[in-house]
Chain A
Amino acid sequence: MLGLIVARLKTTLPSIIGVIVVTFLLTRVLPGDTAAYFAGPAATPQAIAEIRSKLGLDQPLPVQFVAYVGALVKGDLGTSLTTGQAVTKDLAARLPASAELTLFGLLISMAIALPLGVLAAVRQGSWIDHLCRIVATAGVSLPVFFTGLLLVYVFYFILGWAPAPLGRLDAFATEPPRISGFLLIDSVIARDPETFRAALSQILLPALTLAIFSLAPITRMTRASMLAVLGADFVRTARASGLSSRTVIGTYAFRNAMLPVVTTLGMVFSFLLGANVLVEKVFAWPGVGSYAVEALIASDYAPIQGFVLTMAILYVILNLAIDILYGVIDPRVRLEG
């Protein structure tokens, strides 16, 4: 197991290097005056020149790269013009909000998608199968920001069940002491059911939006791989040896069917981290996504670059976790590592 983790860590290294090189290139090599970008739209030529030498943009590229990596190692991603804070600090403050939203959305999605996909495969051709197919096709067609707005309209404006789509907590609730940064968890730790309820009612709609969005690929993959596995020879063997349907479907089919689903999770995370930006904008969620959008509008470049880099590194780490999870399920991979 340890061997597997070490082996996967090694394959992660080139990805990280690639990510750093690309983000560097995105800022330095592309057309346009980077210093002007960084200085912001209202900067004087003098200010731009100052920034240029401060950023080392008058240096040759390799030198710039070394400086860039050096700054990265120190956790220096520049300063946001909008907030006046170090980008690293801003991102760190906002990351838990995004993470909580994304993970909660994924949790809802899996809780629906896995049983739905399995049932659809087991009862192929039944109403649940048709439902599954509708979910899978309609789900990938829904623009995530559109779903979010529809939910707001229905559950906030018409039904009045949900609070206004304005952030993680309404104005009257007090934030629990920060431990994990996840309001749902922190409020439980603080034994504050009031805040927990407030936080839950705020997160429910955006999380649901993300869930609907990621439902389709997970359901589709679960159904397909479950179908494939149910048709496999070893399931036939299990059936022919009289194992109960619970053992056949649960122990034999499901675990095998999960392998492609776990692989799909990588793609789902890629979608989710992107969709997160849109959902945060719709629900005024104070996460890293809306931070990046605000920076985009203000042409504030350092936060955007920091955001892209952070997301990419986060994604690489998530993929690493998925790889390891895969190894836990599949002995073939585990024993190779």
Chain B
Amino acid sequence: MNDMSKVEPPPLRFEAPPSTSLLAHARHIVSENPVTGLAFGLFALILFAAIFGPSIVPYDPLASNTNSALQGPSAAHWFGTDQLGRDIFSRVVAATRLDFTIAVASVALVFLLGGLAGVAAGFFGGWVDTIVGRVADTIMAFPLFVLAMGIVAALGNSVTNIVIATAIINFPLYARVARAEANVRREAGFVQAARLSGNSEWRLLLTQIVPNIMPIMAVQMSLTMGYAILNAAGLSFIGLGVRPPTPEWGIMVAEGASFIVSGEWWIAFFPGLALMTAVFCFNLLGDGVRDLVDPQRRN
């Protein structure tokens, strides 16, 4: 207990505004822009389905029942059943976790790698910049989805590899945004001022540059979440990554595709709708997040 004497003084509260004000600000933004409110609501729903989905669905998403195959939407089967009699509603809800996990994992991965590489390139310049730029350029030289196809095909057909491929094709986007933002701030007045205050270059990077780039990166993340989900679903639509009978939106649309021409629309429609809603939600969130983190708008 003699450590008590050495207790650090409470950290200086210079910047962190009380969390209540952030909440209040969030409420303000939602009330100002109901669409953002809708997006946050949808996001909560997706999060809920991702966490609890598999345990609350009415049917086992994998259980087939040939007696009730290819039934349209009804009270018993809200979204109808597929060719094996599986309940599509249960499958759509259960799929949320996988799709969401793929998107979050790939975005987190690319945020770390791309963000760090970009910030370093923009701030230090020189050979770091050259290498990061060259890597980003090479990735950008491919049509991104095609590159993702190639990567998954080469690495092997698995969900992990979908995550990796999605992260790789997003790398240039993150690296470039982070690089540009770090680069314009490198010579900004406040960074120069911090140099005069005796901050080392690394300290500058961490205290002056990174916190000011975070809002932009946050917006970037929520925007690319939608793209990541689309990309993963596209890959599984053509048979990469996720394998049947695992419920996943892209593969479910693929399974339902052949029934469209004969009129059984619901098999492909509902998973497609779920996919679209999720992407739409993330795209709207991008704008909402920008409003939330932008200090200029907080009063």
Contact = CB atoms under 8 A, between A and B. Distances in A.
> Does A touch B (CB under 8 Å) in the complex?
yes
Interface of A: 14-16, 18-19, 21-23, 26-27, 30-32, 137-138, 140-146, 149-150, 152-153, 156-157, 164-165, 269-275, 277-278, 281-282, 292-293, 296-297, 301, 304-305, 307-308, 311-312, 315-316, 319
A296 B150 contact: no
Contact of A308 (B146, B230, B233, B272): B146
A181 B107 CA distance: 41
A26 B272 contact: no
Contacts of B125: none
B143 A273 contact: yes
Given A15-B137, A319-B141, 11 more contacts: A143-B234, A143-B279, A145-B254, A149-B253, A152-B260, A153-B269, A157-B260, A274-B146, A275-B145, A296-B149, A312-B142
Given A141-B283, A311-B143, A312-B146, A18 B138 contact: yes
Given A30-B154, A157-B263, A19 B145 contact: no
B237 to A, nearest CB: 5
B226 A140 contact: yes
B275 A146 contact: yes
B213 interface: no
Contacts, number: 152
Contact of B280 (A14, A15, A31, A137): A137
Contact of A143 (B233, B263, B284): B233
A31 B155 CA distance: 7
Contacts of B147: 22, 308, 312
Interface string B123-153: 0000000000010011011111111111101
A36 B17 CA distance: 59
Contacts of A16: 141
Nearest to A315: B143
Contacts of B262: 157
19 contacts: A16-B141, A137-B283, A141-B280, A142-B279, A143-B230, A146-B253, A149-B260, A149-B268, A153-B265, A157-B265, A270-B145, A274-B143, A278-B234, A293-B239, A296-B149, A296-B239, A311-B146, A315-B141, A315-B143
Contacts of B245: none
A246 to B, nearest CB: 34
Contacts of B144: 270-271, 274
B214 interface: no
A142 B149 contact: no
A92 to B, nearest CB: 18
B180 interface: no
Contacts of B143: 269-274, 311-312, 315
Contact of A156 (B146, B238, B254, B261): B261
A165 B261 contact: yes
A300 B253 CA distance: 24
Q: How many residues of B sit at the interface, in one of the four size bands?
A: 35 or more
A77 to B, nearest CB: 13
A278 B237 contact: yes
Contacts of A293: 238-239
Given A146-B272, A311-B143, A26 B138 contact: no
Interface string B264-284: 010011001001100110011
A21 B142 CA distance: 12
B141 A18 contact: yes
B150 A304 contact: yes
B165 to A, nearest CB: 11
Contact of A164 (B151, B233, B261, B279): B261
A315 B142 contact: yes
B194 interface: no
B244 interface: no
Nearest to B272: A146
B156 interface: yes
B257 interface: yes
Nearest to B173: A267
A169 B283 CA distance: 38
Interface centre among A138, A152, A274, A315 (most CB of B within 10 A): A274
A305 B250 CA distance: 23
A145 B253 CA distance: 8
B150 A142 contact: no
B95 interface: no
Residue of A301, A315, A316 with most partner-chain B CB within 10 A: A315
The 4 closest A-B CB pairs, nearest first, are A274-B145, A18-B138, A146-B272, A273-B143
A222 B157 CA distance: 39
B138 A278 contact: no
A293 B267 CA distance: 22
A15 B138 contact: yes
B240 interface: yes
B145 A277 contact: yes
A307 B283 contact: no
Which of B146, B153, B283 has its CB near the most chain A CB atoms (within 10 A)? B146
A282 to B, nearest CB: 6
A232 B284 CA distance: 28
